[in-house]
Amino acid sequence: MKDQITSTEAIRGAVHSDLRHDSAIKHVTGRAEYCDDIAEPAGTLHAYLGTSDVTHARIRSLDLSAVRAAPGVIGVLTAADIPGANDISPTGRNDEPVFPTDLIEFHGQPLFAVVAESRDAARRAAELAQMEVEELPHALDPLQAQAAGYPHITDPLKLERGDVATGFAEAPHRITGRLNVGGQDHMYLEGQISFAIPGEDDDVVVHCSTQHPSEAQHMVAHVLGVPSNAVTVNVRRMGGGFGGKESQMNLFACVAALAAKKWNRPVKIRPDRDQDMTATGKRHDFVIDYDVAFDEAGRIQAVEGEFAARCGWSSDLSGPVTDRALFHADNAYFYPHVRLASRPMKTNTVSNTAFRGFGGPQGVVAAERMIEEIAFALGKDPLEVRKANFYGPEGRDLTPYHQQVTDNILERLVGELEKSADYQARRKAILEFNAQSRFLKRGIALTPVKFGISFTATHYNQAGSLIHVYSDGSIHLNHGGTEMGQGLNTKVAQVVADAFQVDITRIKITRTTTEKVPNTSATAASSGSDLNGMAALDAAEQIKTRLVEYAADKWGVDPAAVIFLPNAVKVGNEVMGFDALVKAAYMARVHLSAAGFYKTPDIHWDRAAGRGRPFYYYAYGASCSEVSVDTLTGEYRVERTDILHDVGRSLNPVLDKGQVEGAFIQGMGWLTTEELWWDKQGRLRTHAPSTYKIPLASDAPRIFNVGLAEWSVNPERTIKRSKAVGEPPFMLGISVLEALSMAVASVADYRECPRLDAPATPERVLMAVERLRGGK
């Protein structure tokens, strides 16, 4: 690969080529620097959070004298120590105090921080608080919350199109049901961490593991009561974010900064895994009530759906997350008449947040459940029902939010996967196997994904970059996106290498910092390379334009005769090295630095009306999974998975495949083994890998064939016609749930939809088998 990079071809292929992640070797040799690896200046202090051991209560008194007196303790931070606003709500709703003053709203809620000479001392001291409280009744899940008359934590969304009443009245079949879809812990390898270093005046620098440095900056400024220009937030990389560091780092960034300014010493805060899991938000679990009407062919006529989510004690990002669930409740299917409503419920649990797919996957699972219901009711292969309901030409191309689907490639994509996975023959063989086999049962399912790309908050769809070309020809690249393992920095560097036609090794990828690119959006909604790739291209083009003007003028040729060749520039008939041109341009006082900018065109969204074009385009994919289930124990395994996924013209196929594989496995984990469990008192009892099971390497499909739809080109003018890849393939994991469902249904001769709730743990699979066998 190294040879290739320096060869002529490789530069031209800087985009659309299989470059490995720029930090791959550092990742595997342990030399990649994460926040906790930054050398600590002498005098660094360590903070730890003290948390509540009740679920919902009024605080009568909080006695921290024993905490203060503990060995190594420098002091404590409470709400009283906050000079600015005691609020870190990411949407400005003012409903998320850093530390509460009178009301405890969930078990494990941070109440204060201890600052000590060592992390161990701080952690031990945090246990010594004495509290008097008046306990209040609590509601833990959306149904309890509704029964208790709890409010929506944020405004619900309603999407409506067509005439639902007539749709239901005229259809020959109708099914109503309820689906429970569980939440998910992010389980990033690197947990939450922030490290603040005080400066002169109001200044503070915060190194923070965050997907959203600008937000961390604004929150720290807000909490300290200083302008944003006093606060710098840096992040070189995260050891995974998955949405869990889009807003949840605010608490840690603010605590570290508050303590650093209060004691004028560097302060680091890093919760242990148990506290990370109990004190920070997760994927929203949903209770979804659906009502679907359809005809003999399995074509959907009308859908009504209500999506109640466990949002937790504060709004956080629950508004946009529950909105996105509705935006994806159609998945790939046209609903002639539809009404969808979200119920973002306040609960006395940790505040749920962004997680890969951002509510979308919960919507997609509901769509696939309805397809299953129809298939079992009519005795059809679910794939046939899926195909019958795909978005189609005019008349069948409007989403529930009135965006037209113009780029649908699912028919081809699904058709190709159906063939390459040999779906029809294998399904037939499985039906025969199940008829013979008494206890071992098999299942197969092929499920599609359509995922909308863009932030639904339109103003988020902007990005900036900063490129310097130094006089020796080396290039410094900075952009507003953050690296969390997905390979964003590599992709953006590829774009810049392609623009200048230089070796990628010439480009220095630098940490994300609010000092270089301001007012950035979270690296989220899979938009990192779409937005930052374009912003970087803009900066590179500006510098190139200046170089071209300079060369044309200096050597008296037409600007069109200045051509960038691999590591060289042709000016008229002369070819000079890129370095030589840069050096000459510098001597002639050409500005060799540029800030780039990009905003996504053509998108708009009117939330009150439930209409618009919130998404610039859609990404598509499909997966086919086969499982085997031991119906005596409920245990199962994935025998084979085939995936065909659409990333447009891939910027980097090998990185994209990595994203597809990882997302599939993470999606499968969400729907199978990852179970969050709160006891009646409201304590999260699954707060470590010992009780919360993420997929292991041994849980990967025995046969795993992952392909990209190489013929796909983004019809929109995205960066090099690529498509976003971070989140859409997460929903490919749904084929595993659906395959399990088929295996379970076999015990009652496929007469009934097993209605498997997610996660379909072995226990749930066993219970479903028993229920169907008992004819209940």
Residues that bind ligand MOS (CB under 6 A): 211, 243, 246, 354-356, 358, 524-525, 727
Q: Which does 529 bind (CB under 5 to 8 A by kind): ligand MOS, ligand MTE, none?
A: ligand MTE
Cβ of residue 211: shortest distance to ligand MOS, in angstroms? Answer: 6
Count CB atoms within 10 A of the CB of residue 775.
8
Nearer Cβ to ligand MTE, position 381 or 538? 538
Spatial neighbors of 44 by CB under 8 A, at least 6 apart, are 265, 266, 267, 268
Q: Which of ligand MTE, ligand MOS, none interacts with 240 (beta carbon under 5 to 8 A by kind)?
A: ligand MTE
State the binding partner of 109 from ligand MOS, ligand MTE, none, CB within 5 to 8 A by kind. Answer: none
Closest distance between ligand MTE and the C-beta of residue 527, in Å? 5
DSSP-derived secondary structure for 51-64: E-SSSSEEEEEEE-
Among 247, 526, 672, 714, binds ligand MTE (CB under 6 A): 526
> Any idea which residue has 């295996």 for tokens?
743
Piece of 155-163, 518-526, 565-573, 741-749 that binds ligand MTE (CB under 6 A): 518-526
Q: Report the interhelical angle of 528-555 vs 578-587 (nearest 10°).
A: 70
Two structure tokens written together for 412: 């081809």
Q: Which of residues 149-168 bind ligand MTE (CB under 6 A)?
A: none
Binding residue (CB under 6 A) for ligand MTE from 182, 243, 298, 621 = 243
Name the closest residue to ligand MOS (Cβ).
243
Separation of alpha carbons 621 and 392, rounded Å = 17
Which residues, 6+ apart, have CB-to-CB distance to 382 below 8 Å?
A: 371, 372, 375, 445, 738, 742
The option from ligand MTE, ligand MOS, none interacting with 453 (CB < 5 to 8 A, set by class) reads none
Nearest of 726, 756, 764, 725 to residue 739 by alpha carbon: 756
Q: With CA atoms as reference, report the closest residue to 641 among 654, 660, 656.
A: 660
At closest approach, how far in Å is the CB of 689 from ligand MTE? 17
Report, in Å, the least distance between residue 72 CB and ligand MTE: 34
CB distance 96 to 314 below 8 Å:
yes
By CB under 6 A, name the one of 276, 727, 738, 757 that touches ligand MTE.
727
Q: How far is CA 59 from CA 85, 346, 539, in A?
A: 20, 20, 53
CB 107 within 8 A of CB 251: no
What is the distance between the terminal CA atoms of the chain, rounded to a whole angstrom?
Answer: 60
Among 99, 106, 195, 242, binds ligand MTE (CB under 6 A): 242
Q: Which of residues 333-372 bind ligand MTE (CB under 6 A)?
A: 356
Beta-sheet pairing, 636-645 with 703-708: parallel
**What are the backbone angles phi and psi of residue 719, rounded to the nearest 5°?**
-60, 115
Within 635-674, which residues bind ligand MTE (CB under 6 A)? 659, 662
- Nearer to ligand MTE by C-beta: 184 or 351? 184
How near is the Cβ of 375 to ligand MTE at its closest, in Å?
31
Least separation in angstroms between residue 530's CB and ligand MTE is 7
The active-site residue, picked from 635, 727, 738, 763, is 727
**Which of 111, 365, 421, 524: binder of ligand MTE (CB under 6 A)?**
524
# of chain residues touching ligand MTE (CB under 6 A): 20
Q: Select from ligand MOS, ligand MTE, none the partner in contact with residue 288, using the beta carbon and a kind-dependent cut-off of 5 to 8 Å.
A: none
DSSP string computed for 702-730: SEEEEEE-TT---SS--GGGB---SSGGG
User: Closest CB to ligand MTE among 46 and 284?
Assistant: 284
- Minimum Å gap between C-beta 250 and ligand MOS is 14
Closer to ligand MOS at the Cβ: 11 or 233?
233
Annotation says 416 is catalytic: no
Instruction: Describe the crossing of helices 488-500 and 528-555 by its angle, rounded to 10 degrees.
Output: 20
**Within positions 458 to 497, which residues make up the interface with ligand MTE, using CB under 6 A?**
484-486, 488
Q: Between residues 325 and 590, which has the closer beta carbon with respect to ligand MOS? A: 325
Residue 93 tokens, joined: 């709703």
Residue 241 makes contact with ligand MTE by CB under 6 A = yes
Rg over alpha carbons for the chain, rounded to the nearest Å, is: 27
**Is 527 an interacting residue with respect to ligand MTE (CB under 6 A)?**
yes
State which residue, 237 or 310, has the beta carbon closest to ligand MTE.
Answer: 237
Span of 65-73, 177-185, 359-367, 525-533 interacting with ligand MTE by CB under 6 A: 525-533
Q: Identify the bridge partners of residue 446 per DSSP, sorted by sequence position.
A: 624
State in angstroms the smallest separation of the CB of 706 from ligand MTE.
Answer: 15
Work out how close the CB of 694 gets to ligand MOS at its nearest, in angstroms, rounded to a whole number.
Answer: 17
Strand positions, DSSP E, 295-397: 300-312, 337-346
Residue 246 interaction partner, one of ligand MTE, ligand MOS, none, beta carbon < 5-8 Å per kind: ligand MOS
Q: Where are the beta strands (DSSP E) in 70-203?
A: 73-77, 103-104, 110-116, 130-135, 158-161, 173-181, 194-198
- Closer to ligand MTE by Cβ: residue 156 or 658: 658
Distance CA 488, CA 494 (A): 10
Virtual CA dihedral for 250, 251, 253, 258, nearest 10 degrees?
A: 130
Active site residues: 727
Residues that bind ligand MTE (CB under 6 A): 240-243, 356, 484-486, 488, 523-529, 659, 662, 726-727
